[in-house]
Amino acid sequence: MNEYILSMKAISKEFPGVRALDNVTFSVKPAEIHALVGENGAGKSTLMKILSGVYPHGTYGGTIEIDQTEKRFKSPGESERSGIAIIYQELALVKELSIVENICLGNEIARCGVIDWDASYRLAEKSLKGVGLNVNPEFPISYLGVGEQQLVAIAKALSKDARILVLDEPTAALSEEESAKLLKILRDLRAKGVTCIYISHRLKEVFDIADRITVLRDGKTVATHDKKDLDENKLIALMVGREVTNKYPKTTRTAGEVVLEVRDWTVFDPDINKTIADVSFKLRKGEVLGMAGLIGAGRTELVMSFFRFWGRKVKGKLFLEGKELELRDAGSTIASGISLASEDRKRYGLVLDEDICKNISLASLDKIASYSVVNVIDEIRSAERYTKELRIKTPSIEQKAGNLSGGNQQKVVLGKWLMTTPKVLILDEPTRGIDVGARVEIYNIINELVDKGVAVIVISSDLSEILGVCDRILVMHEGRFTVDLPVKEATQEKIMHYATGGK
Amino acid sequence: MKISFVQNIRKYTMLIALIGIWLIFSIMTQGVFVSPRNLSNLFLQTAAVAVITIGMTLVIVTRNIDLSVGSVAAFAGAVTAFMNVKMGMPAGAAIGIALVTGLAIGAWHGFWIAYRLVPAFIVTLASMMIFRGAVLGITNGATIAPLSAGFKSIGQSYLAPGISLWIGLAVACIFVVKNILNRQKRLKFGFSVPALPIFIIKVLVVCAVIAAFFMIMIQNRGVPYAVVLVLALAVLFNFMSTRTVFGRQLYAIGGNPDAASLSGIDVRKQVMMLYVIFGALTAIGGMVLTARLNAATTSAGQGMELDVIAAAVIGGTSLMGGEGTIWGSVIGALIMASLDNGMSLMDTNITYQYIIKGMILLLAVWVDIATRKKT
């Protein structure tokens, strides 16, 4: 006699230098919709990756039980055979294939290796009906909108007899209407006995649909409550409420004249029609401007578009110290004095196979070259200087960037941009994946820069970081700034409110 | 202060492999392989492939490829021969026209690859066919020969032994001085350096190799012009790849194109530039080949692209991009040519020649990958 269909007990997971999950307990009743909430980086995705077998048994601590039997998943396939299906934010559908091919992908109905198309169509039609989708399964998947594709993904899961359905931010890319339709289908599925784990940042939806809610924070289970015992404010408090420590050294400073002004900035997305629409803001000398918001709100896309690295088309004006800039490519933006340390340092920041020295000088080679020949002595001196100033821990500047820890890699990226002597430095998630000690050092570096007169923009999904580091906070929701708050008036609850679309 | 033994050795793996191959061939041919005459011949045979491999290394470093080098080299050679023989132009003018042709073909490749984003594999596969056709067109399907004495000398003449001796001495002196200065510079900045005895041994060994090389060449009429050309180009491109903004950006583009682009590097322009330069290098390679054979034939350079790519890869260039050295590739070219030369001396059946070359390519890359994992 046990009331749980799934229980994950004492789950712990460590990555080098980070404890992602610490003794997490998570139990789900049959045929309920169970919401899993928490800030970005709280450990939700890690927990689900353990459940789905992406992190196989042995790489984590604790036990997983389904129907009271312990399961040790070694691969996603094993997890799937136990009736668990995960529908990721980035849909795992193959754009070039038809709906029926997508539904049967990895699970083809075949006789002696030859696909039985009749049976495949029957299966596809049956499972599409189950999610209320009335389309011809022969159509290519790309004919469908994102919402309908989402439903196909669910249909695919159902066709494999999934009993526990995990949805990771399913409505992030959906319109209101599509979301409502999806939620209705989830309720129908619940009525048919399917259990559903629902991960979402949209708290309204969570309260709309969930039976019970589990909150994760910093890799720990904070609480599991019935929906009726909670309201939105209580939930936010559970999500963000952490002990206040002096993790954020801050100097007193006064903002000077406007350095950067962006007017009516509009960016058109290359794939779907989501845009950054008519964004305007000002940045002053000697201030740290924070950009808060949920992942996918458009903050990264906004700053990347200053470097013409993102967006099909860009409209609007950008003034640096009163002069309008014509932004042709990343080179011209950097040359005018704006630098961006991007969010994914391994993908966009570093050449991992090259040494610290070459990484630091990468964006400034023209400066230390005469007649196009790099002055190696100058290069070494600069690299040594930034290694010392930023306290990069390394035996030598000839160490490969790929061999450094996350915090030191981030400092190398910072060194690269400091060497370009920017007037405006944009830091996108400057402390992601970095341990607490190195974080404080990065905050100190930001303070030093601001004292030297550099204007800094910090994009962060960590609310306490935004509050601790910035002087002024812009909150973005779906490609627009919803509010401009001085830090004195800001609280985590307020930011969450505006970030989730509140007025 | 520690450079591990493995890392130290890895740098010289291919050099050691080359010496090993030479030893085997020397024994199998009762010393004919290492005779001054044969070695001089070997270097001369390597020259055309080596020149093109120098450029191919940088192309592969940027995660691109060029399959058309055989056809383009043959075309450039045919153009020169046509101008020199059929039109009666002096060698200088014919060379100039061939160089411009190479630059233009490079620009054509660069345009499609960098600005039209057609994969390099396809663009150059197309050119492989296009210029093989062009070779047939310009030669009318027949060999053009013989070339003027001036042109022929590129592939068949030698520096006088006296001059060769002086050049050898100069090269050795420059090498020693440069190494000492470099070591002092590194010590000044507190970088790791090998222990002094190892450093001295290394310098002495390289000096001995230089001395041996020039002595052998001098015993056989002196250093061939074509070999001087290869060495000069290798020095030039080694400098370009390690010390100029352009070269350094190429490595960054290959190592991480997104990071390079966000660091303000104009990736398209640099790739375009590289192909233009590479076009000229390919033309030079084609002329060396034509001069050595003293004829432009319709089948010249067939299969050369594979030798060139294999040489670059054996020399340590990574097809994943971002990694590769000019000198490594020159040694790779020498390994490939040594296999050809040695097996021909041994009168090995052509069937086995191909099989052995293929196996060695596979083995060399596997050894490289296997040793890389451990470090």
ipTM of predicted assembly, 2 dp: 0.89
Inter-chain Cβ pairs, chain A and chain B, closer than 8 A: 83
Distance CA B221, CA B44 (A): 13
On the question of pLDDT at A252 being above 80, the answer is no
Q: Whose structure tokens read 């390289």? A: B206
Distance CA B67, CA B127 (A): 8
Residues 288-327 of A with CB under 8 A from B: 307, 309
C-alpha A295: how far from chain center: 5
As a whole number of Å, the CA-based R_g of chain B is 21
Q: Which tokens in the block code for residue B78?
A: 């045919």
Distance CA A109, CA A123 (A): 9
| Stretch among A174-183, A473-482, B256-265, B311-320 having the lowest mean pLDDT | A174-183
Query: Looking at residue A307, what is its pLDDT?
Result: 93
Distance CA A196, CA A47 (A): 15
Q: Whose structure tokens read 């930023």? A: A390
Question: Strand, coil or helix: what is B162?
Answer: helix
Q: What is the dihedral of CA B115, B119, B125, B126, to 10 degrees?
A: -40
Q: Which tokens in the block code for residue A80?
A: 């799937």
Distance CA A369, CA A94 (A): 47
Is A354 close to B251, i.e. CB distance below 8 A? yes
Distance CA A267, CA A312 (A): 7
pTM metric for this prediction: 0.82
Is B264 close to A335, i.e. CB distance below 8 A? yes
Q: Which residues pair with A339 in a beta bridge?
A: A425
Query: Looking at residue A270, what is its pLDDT?
Result: 67
Q: Which residues of B touch A307 (CB under 8 A)?
A: 262
Higher pLDDT, A219 or A502: A219
Q: Which tokens in the block code for residue A288?
A: 């740290």
Query: Looking at residue A142, what is its pLDDT?
Result: 82
Residues 299-328 of B with CB under 8 A from A: 322-323
Query: Looking at residue A95, what is its pLDDT?
Result: 81
| DSSP class of B115 | I
Q: Which residues of A touch B256 (CB under 8 A)?
A: 347, 350-352
Which range of A121-135, A174-188, B1-15, B64-78 scores highest in mean pLDDT? It is B64-78
Distance CA A273, CA A275 (A): 6
Structural element, H or E, at residue B209: helix B196-219
On the question of pLDDT at B373 being above 60, the answer is no
Task: Give CA separation, B337 vs A29, A96, A315, B41, in Å.
Answer: 71, 46, 57, 10
What's the pLDDT tens digit per position in B201-239?
989 988 998 999 999 999 988 999 999 999 999 999 999
Q: Quick one: A382 exposed, middle or buried, by C-beta within 10 A (0-12, 13-18, 19+)? A: buried
Mean of pLDDT over chain B? 92
Residues 51-70 of B with CB under 8 A from A: none
* B72 at A interface, C-beta within 8 A: no
> Percent of chain A, pLDDT > 90?
45
Confidence of residue A158 (pLDDT cuts 50, 70, 90): confident
Q: Quick one: B44 exposed, middle or buried, by C-beta within 10 A (0-12, 13-18, 19+)? A: buried
Q: Which residues of A touch B265 (CB under 8 A)?
A: 330-331, 362
On the question of pLDDT at A243 being above 50, the answer is no
Q: Which tokens in the block code for residue A34?
A: 């169970």
Query: Looking at residue A272, what is its pLDDT?
Result: 58
- Looking at residue B180, its amino acid is I
Confidence of residue A244 (pLDDT cuts 50, 70, 90): very low
Task: Over range A201-222, report the average pLDDT.
Answer: 88
Task: Over range A476-480, report the average pLDDT.
Answer: 89
Is B264 close to A363, i.e. CB distance below 8 A? yes
Q: Which residues pair with A70 in a beta bridge?
A: A65
Confidence of residue A35 (pLDDT cuts 50, 70, 90): very high
Cα three-residue angle B316-B319-B325, rounded to 5 degrees: 35
Structural element, H or E, at residue A86: strand A84-87
Distance CA A395, CA A381 (A): 16
| Shortest CA gap A363–chain B (Å) | 5
b/e map of B289-311 (b: 16 or more CB within 10 Å)?
A: bbbbbebbbbebbeebbbbbbbb
Confidence of residue B242 (pLDDT cuts 50, 70, 90): very high
On the question of pLDDT at B6 being above 60, the answer is no
Residues with Cβ within 8 Å of A136's Cβ and at least 6 positions away in sequence, in order, are: A99
* A354 at B interface, C-beta within 8 A: yes
* A69 at B interface, C-beta within 8 A: no
Of A332, A353, A362, the CB nearest to B263: A362
What's the pLDDT tens digit per position in A414-423?
999 999 999 9
| Stretch among A138-142, A176-180, B143-147, B298-302 having the lowest mean pLDDT | A176-180
> Percent of chain B, pLDDT > 70?
96
Task: Over range A490-499, report the average pLDDT.
Answer: 89
On the question of pLDDT at B2 being above 50, the answer is no
Distance CA A249, CA A452 (A): 17
Residues 11-30 of A with CB under 8 A from B: none
On the question of pLDDT at B7 being above 70, the answer is no
What's the pLDDT tens digit per position in B167-193?
999 999 999 999 999 899 888 887 878
Where do the H-state alpha helices sit in A320-422?
Answer: 330-336, 356-361, 376-389, 406-419
Mean of pLDDT over chain A? 87
Q: Whose structure tokens read 């609310």? A: A463
If phi > 0 it is left, if psi is from -120 to 50 it is alpha, else beta; for residue B63 that is: left
What's the pLDDT tens digit per position in A363-398?
999 999 999 999 999 999 999 999 999 989 888 898
On the question of pLDDT at B8 being above 60, the answer is no
